C-alpha cells in the first residue's frame, strides 16, 4: 500500500457501546487507526466502549470521527461488510461480493481513501444503504448460520486485511532453543541406565528404547527439559537406592 492510501473503519448506527469498543480494539490489534462513527451510542470515558477498547481507548477510540452517512459515501470509496452469502447478479444490490482475503490483495497499492463499513448488530446495513456502497464484502461462513456479531465480523475482517496496514508481518523469532544432539543422546543413555536399574525385562528392552526415541524425538526438547528429565530419573534412582530396590536380590 502506498503512503497516500488511508483505510478507515466505519460503524453505522451501532446499537451497543461495547461493540464500538471491540471494533476499536481490533483496529489497534491490526494497525488500523481511523475510526468513523455514524449515529453512535455513547463511547467516551467511563462507557462500555472505553472498557472494551483496552489500549485503543487512548487513540483509536478517543480520536474517532463522527459524520453522517451522506458524508461517508461522498468522501470515501465504501466497502460494505454484509452476511449475505447467496450468489447471482439477481440476489445482490452490488455484485459480485469479495471475501476479505481477496479484498486485501486487490486493495494493496490503492491511492484513495477507503472506508470499510460495518452496520448494526441486529440488521446490518439496510438495502438502501447497501445500494449506496461502492462494493460488498462477505466473510464466508456456514450458510445455515452466517450471521456474525458486529465485533466478531470486524475482528475477522481486519485480521484478513492486516497486510494493508502492517505489510508482510512475520511471527517473532521462535525463542524455543532445542537441545543439542549431544544433550539428547546423553538423556537416552540415562534412560538406558535407568532401565538397567529397574531390571526392565530384556525381551521388551529394544522396543521400549525405540519408543522413547520416537516420543522424545517429536518434542524438540529444550536444554531445560532435558535437564528436568535427567533430574526425574535421578530422583527415581535415589529412591530405589534408599529402599534397596531395582536390581533383583541375589
Cell readout for 51 is: 472498557
pLDDT value at 5 more than 70 = no
Higher pLDDT, 137 or 248: 137
Q: If we measure between CA atoms, which residue out of 221, 145, 159, 141 comes closest to residue 28?
A: 159
Longest dimension (CA), the chain: 96
In the chain, the N- to C-terminal Cα span, in Å, equals: 80
Q: Is the dihedral of CA 41, 43, 45, 51 positive or negative?
A: positive
pLDDT in tens, 22-42: 999 999 999 999 999 999 999
Residue 108 confidence (pLDDT): 79
Q: For the residues 96-123, what does the mean pLDDT come to? A: 86
Residue 170 confidence (pLDDT): 60
d(CA 154, CA 152): 6
Residue 172 confidence (pLDDT): 59
CB atoms under 10 Å from CB of 46, counted, come to: 8
pLDDT in tens, 166-195: 887 665 565 668 899 999 999 999 999 999
pLDDT value at 208 more than 80 = yes
d(CA 100, CA 104): 6
- The whole-model pTM stands at 0.68
CATH architecture of 6-166: 3-Layer(aba) Sandwich (3.40)
Q: What are phi and psi of 97, to 5 degrees?
A: -110, 130
CB atoms under 10 Å from CB of 45, counted, come to: 11
Q: Is the peptide bond before 96 cis (omega within 30 degrees of 0)?
A: yes
Higher pLDDT, 242 or 19: 19
Amino acid at each position: 500500500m502506498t503512503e497516500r492510501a488511508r483505510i478507515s473503519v466505519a460503524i453505522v448506527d451501532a446499537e451497543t457501546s461495547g461493540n464500538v469498543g471491540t471494533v476499536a480494539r481490533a483496529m489497534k490489534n491490526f494497525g488500523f487507526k481511523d475510526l468513523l462513527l455514524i449515529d453512535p451510542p455513547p463511547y467516551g470515558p467511563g462507557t462500555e466502549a472505553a472498557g472494551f477498547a483496552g489500549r485503543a481507548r487512548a487513540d483509536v477510540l478517543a480520536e474517532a470521527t463522527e459524520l453522517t452517512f451522506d458524508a461517508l459515501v461522498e468522501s470515501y470509496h465504501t466497502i460494505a461488510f454484509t452476511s449475505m452469502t447467496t450468489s447471482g447478479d439477481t440476489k445482490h444490490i452490488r455484485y459480485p461480493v469479495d471475501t476479505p482475503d481477496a479484498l486485501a490483495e486487490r486493495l494493496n497499492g490503492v491511492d484513495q481513501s477507503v472506508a470499510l463499513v460495518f452496520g448494526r448488530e441486529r440488521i446490518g446495513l439496510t438495502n438502501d444503504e447497501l445500494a449506496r456502497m461502492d462494493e460488498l464484502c462477505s466473510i464466508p461462513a456456514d450458510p445455515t448460520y452466517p450471521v456474525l456479531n458486529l465485533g466478531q465480523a470486524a475482528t475477522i475482517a481486519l485480521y484478513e486485511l492486516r497486510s494493508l496496514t502492517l505489510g508482510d508481518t512475520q511471527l517473532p523469532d521462535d525463542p524455543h532453543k532445542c537441545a543439542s544432539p549431544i544433550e539428547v543422546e546423553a538423556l537416552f543413555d540415562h534412560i538406558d541406565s535407568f532401565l538397567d536399574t529397574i531390571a526392565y525385562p530384556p525381551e521388551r528392552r529394544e522396543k521400549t528404547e525405540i519408543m522413547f526415541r520416537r516420543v522424545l524425538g517429536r518434542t524438540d526438547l529444550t536444554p531445560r527439559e532435558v535437564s528436568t528429565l535427567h533430574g526425574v530419573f535421578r530422583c527415581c534412582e535415589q529412591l530405589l537406592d534408599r529402599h534397596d530396590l531395582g536390581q533383583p536380590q541375589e
